[in-house]
């Protein structure tokens, strides 16, 4: 599917935020491990979360989805699946990584695999930690990368994990920890990437009854005496997906309100709003949402976006139309996403006339006159959505493979339809 974006100016739009992908993944897993039947209200039903649901079903969990909720009959920390079970997680890194640790709770070894790109995304640090906690790990192709077969059992105890490549490694271990045979004492080494996601993980775990003692982002002690308990859980709105509409106001001018967001959310991507404020936008928090307005010129900034990784590309689009240079740092781990987002963003912006240079942990965007063009997002949903927003500011940009947005935001093009008409 190809979508061509017309140039628009002076936006006046109100849109509801889709449910959070991060919260949905974690709530599904906690509910699956709980004792009793849970109801997940307002979940995100996108390609990635559907992969998590399908994987839990292959592990023996009964899942019933319908309307605005998902009912899950928990397994009380013990999956039942046939020998030779394979979980194909396609290109959902969150699904594969979070499920890797809970695979130790299955009664037979489980193999986790995915797309060609997934096989290039490292899981070595997670595998090493699982081995220290009782797992038996085997890589079928390249050591440290999927496909990976996980057997053994989750004994618990003390372990360390390198968090510098991805916070998902630590989140994976933590999600499984309440079901271990002994308490889990996890120490995270290195500077944790996207550390706000550890807050989301810990929050969902405690909401489902787990007990965690922590020292910031360095050490987490998880009790095995407080297992997950069933409950009704409401998924909050997603700041990552909302960022595209906030950027629309910044790039095209006007005002956009996104409803369904928690103003006190721990989601790291809400920091994107601070970046927009520094660039000259007006940001207003209301009871049920956030409004961003802008009328005038945007000023470039220097900013560390390590806490808001999924909005880096969106910020790059805003920076591309600013009047002064922007330097974005703390983004080295974006090389390991659905695409190498640093390289892809720089390349595609330069195709449109931009002046962009990329390093291992930064990207620099300088003012330049932009023009239209054809953008191949390399099957990366966030690349497609961020360049779509830029397209509405410049006009004449076409996105190929536009259906890739279904990975996290199936209603994205419908939400933009009122602006594009």
Q: What span, in angstroms and rounded, lies between the C-alpha atoms of 202 and 188?
A: 14
Contact 209, 38 (CB under 8 A): no
Reply yes or no: is the peptide bond before residue 147 cis, omega within 30 of 0. yes
Cβ-in-10-Å burial (0-12, 13-18, 19+) of 329 comes to: middle
Q: Which position among 310, 361, 379, 380 bears the catalytic label? A: 310
DSSP state of 104: G
Residue 321 CB neighbour total at 10 angstroms: 20
Q: What span, in angstroms and rounded, lies between the C-alpha atoms of 72 and 149?
A: 26
Distances (CA, A) of 397 to 192, 210, 216, 352, 391: 36, 48, 44, 9, 5
* Annotation marks residue 310 as catalytic: yes
Tokens for 293? 């307005």
Distances (CA, A) of 81 to 56, 58, 110, 198, 217: 10, 7, 9, 29, 34
Distances (CA, A) of 206 to 23, 185, 213, 231, 274: 13, 16, 11, 12, 28
Contact 112, 103 (CB under 8 A): yes
Q: Which of 236, 290, 313 lies closest to 22, judged by CA?
A: 236
As annotated, the active-site residues are 310
């Amino acid at each position: 599917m190809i979508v061509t974006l017309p140039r628009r100016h002076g936006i006046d739009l109100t849109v509801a935020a889709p449910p959070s992908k991060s919260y949905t993944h974690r709530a599904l897993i906690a509910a699956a491990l709980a004792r009793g039947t849970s109801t997940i209200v307002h979940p995100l039903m996108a390609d990635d979360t559907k992969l998590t649901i399908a994987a839990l079903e292959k592990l023996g969990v009964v899942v019933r989805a319908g309307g605005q909720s998902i009912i899950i009959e928990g397994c009380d920390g013990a999956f039942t699946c046939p020998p030779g079970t394979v979980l194909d997680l396609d290109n959902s890194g969150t699904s594969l990584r979070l499920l890797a640790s809970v695979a130790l709770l299955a009664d037979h070894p489980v193999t986790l695999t995915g797309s060609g790109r997934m096989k290039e995304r490292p899981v070595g640090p997670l595998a090493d930690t699982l081995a220290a906690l009782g797992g038996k790990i085997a890589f079928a192709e390249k050591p440290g990368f999927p496909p990976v077969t996980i057997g053994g059992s989750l004994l618990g105890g003390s372990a360390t994990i390198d968090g510098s490549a991805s916070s998902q490694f630590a989140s994976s271990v933590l999600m499984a920890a309440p079901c271990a045979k002994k308490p889990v004492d996890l120490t995270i080494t290195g500077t944790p990437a996207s550390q706000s996601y550890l807050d989301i993980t810990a929050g969902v775990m405690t909401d489902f009854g787990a007990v965690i003692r922590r020292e910031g982002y360095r050490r987490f002690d998880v009790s095995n005496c407080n297992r997950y308990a069933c409950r009704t859980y409401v998924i909050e709105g997603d700041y990552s997906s909302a960022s595209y509409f906030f950027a629309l106001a910044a790039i095209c001018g006007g005002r956009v309100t996104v409803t369904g967001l928690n103003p006190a959310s721990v989601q790291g991507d809400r920091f994107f709003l601070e970046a927009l404020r520094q660039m000259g936008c007006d940001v207003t928090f209301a009871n049920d949402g956030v409004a961003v307005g802008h009328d005038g010129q945007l000023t470039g900034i220097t900013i560390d976006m390590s806490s808001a990784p999924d909005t880096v590309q969106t910020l790059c689009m805003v920076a591309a139309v600013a009047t002064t240079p922007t330097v974005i740092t703390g983004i080295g781990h974006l090389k390991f996403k659905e695409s190498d987002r640093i390289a892809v963003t720089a390349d595609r912006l330069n195709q449109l006339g931009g002046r962009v240079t990329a390093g291992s942990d930064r990207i620099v965007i300088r003012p330049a006159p932009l023009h239209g063009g054809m953008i191949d997002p390399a099957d990366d949903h966030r690349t497609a959505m961020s360049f779509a927003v830029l397209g509405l500011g410049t006009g004449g940009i076409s996105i190929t493979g536009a259906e890739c947005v279904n990975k996290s935001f199936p209603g994205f093009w419908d939400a933009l339809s009122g602006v594009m008409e």
